[in-house]
Amino acid sequence: MPEMTFAVRWPDGEQTSHYSPSLVMHDFIAVGERYSVSDFVRRACEALGLAGDRVLAKYGFACTSAKHSEETIIAAADSYASGDVEIVAMQPPLQVSAE
């Protein structure tokens, strides 16, 4: 199962990096986009939940790394009453097929 990391810049300029056990993050966030803190948390948690479900289905156990990323994001978001989160990097990047 492909895994990835994604880096975000919080409203105060702090940058953090997070792990996902699945590329599903590309379906919820995009590099260069800005999301309100609450929208980013919603998107990230939904994507990480799906990623964790994929690990459970494939391997038969929960992905503690996905849960840790979700908890870290929620804790960081609690520091901001408002503002935007910018997606600064996703590795590996989204592969766009040339059709």
pLDDT of 83 > 90? The answer is yes
16-42 exposure pattern, b = at least 16 Cβ within 10 A, e = fewer? eebbbbbbbbbebbeeeeebebeebbe
User: What strand order describes the sheet that includes 15-20?
Assistant: 15-20, 4-9, 84-91, 34-36
- Boundaries of every domain in the chain: 4-91
- Put simply, whether the predicted model's pTM sits higher than 0.85 gets the answer yes
Please tell me the least confidently modeled range out of 6-10, 38-42, 54-58.
Answer: 54-58
- List the one residue out of 2, 12, 20, 5 whose CA is nearest residue 76: 12
